Amino acid sequence: MLAKFNNKNLLSVCFRFSTRTMSIDIGGMRKPYNDKENTFDVKDLVSKNPFDQFKVWFEEATANDKIEEANAMCLATATADGFPSARMVLLKKYGPEGFTFYTNYTSRKAEELDSNPRAALVFYWEPLKRSVRVEGQVSRVPMEESKAYFESRPVSSQIGAWVSDQSKVIPDRTVLTEKEAELTTKHQDKVEPLPFPNHWGGYRVVPRSIEFWQGQSNRIHDRLRFRVAETEEEKSNKESWVIERLAP
Ligand SMILES: Cc1cc2nc3c(=O)[nH]c(=O)nc-3n(C[C@H](O)[C@H](O)[C@H](O)COP(=O)(O)O)c2cc1C
């Protein structure tokens, strides 16, 4: 028994021991952001409409070679009694009607959204030191729109939507690969197109606030928030969005 206890085993025991007993201090991890000359102010906004501003930042992120998926965003939802959860999803459409992503309607996020239709989204475009936060009400995308998007996807992705009973506990990977192989044989050649899965479709986050954040090396970051007009005075103004600067 002792003979089997070589250095590798010892290392792994020590590692498990240390991670269980003490935290690893990474307080020294720190990257520079933007210089003082490169700030983001109200005068830099392209419009008083946050969707125009989002378009400019999103297109700059998409054009940046160091950003592989500018449309990757963190989606936060919560149960009806307020327990939060977050995961990454891909933005598939944006504009004044909202921010759209697609998923399985029986997944954990869908259960949470159906019982508590509010969500928050966060984009972080690290090379640009920019982040966007979106908060709002959520509704399902009309079925015809989800169907049109589903049909535009590659067959392998369409199969993926049928294969996964998303968020459910499964015994092993073969549950997925066997179903995938069966569907691939039947549909890959598109002789028989895949039907649209009724358990799958889009959600749209209709923002009530959108915040644009740009990081500064000295941590005096820039935060400009657009929020829908709330008070009677705000509503009486011609602009439908109130623009505010927030402390970093
Ligand atoms: C970059 C990235 C993009 C993703 N995009 C999607 C997506 O568009 N839709 C989706 O359902 N899951 C997507 N996922 C997987 C989700 O993060 C998550 O694992 C899955 O949706 C199950 O989440 P839930 O159990 O909270 O419902 C993505 C994951 C990553 C890392």
Mutate to test the pocket of ligand 1, among 85, 103, 164 (most ligand atoms within 8 A of CB): 103
pLDDT at 7: 53
Q: What are phi and psi for residue 39, nearest 5 degrees?
A: -100, 170
In this prediction, residue 21 carries a pLDDT of 78
User: Whole-angstrom Cα distance, residue 54 to residue 52?
Assistant: 5
Residue 226 lies in a domain: yes
Q: Is residue 183 part of a domain?
A: no
Looking at residue 235, its pLDDT comes to 87
pTM: 0.91
Give a yes or no: residue 104 inside a domain.
Answer: yes
Atom of ligand 1 nearest to the CA of 107: 27
In a domain, 195, yes or no: no
Distance 207 CA to ligand 1 centre (A): 21
Domain CATH code at residue 231: 2.30.110.10
Q: pLDDT in tens for each of the 248 residues of the chain? A: 344 445 555 445 445 555 567 999 999 999 999 999 899 999 999 999 999 999 999 999 999 999 999 999 999 999 999 999 999 999 999 999 999 999 999 999 999 999 999 999 999 999 999 999 999 999 999 999 999 999 999 999 999 999 999 999 999 999 999 999 999 988 877 667 899 999 999 999 999 999 999 999 999 999 999 999 988 888 888 788 999 999 99
CA of 101 to the centre of ligand 1 (A): 10
The CB of 72 under 6 Å from ligand 1? The reply is yes
The number of domains in the chain is 1
Active site residue 130: no
Q: By residue range, what is the domain housing residue 88?
A: 32-145+200-245
Identify whether 135 is part of a domain: yes
Atom of ligand 1 nearest to the CA of 72: 1
The token pair that represents 141 in the structure block: 């995308």
In a domain, 170, yes or no: no
> Does 66 map to a domain?
yes
pLDDT at 12: 52
Tell which atom from ligand 1 comes closest to the C-alpha of 87: 17
pLDDT in the model for residue 192: 76
In a domain? residue 64: yes
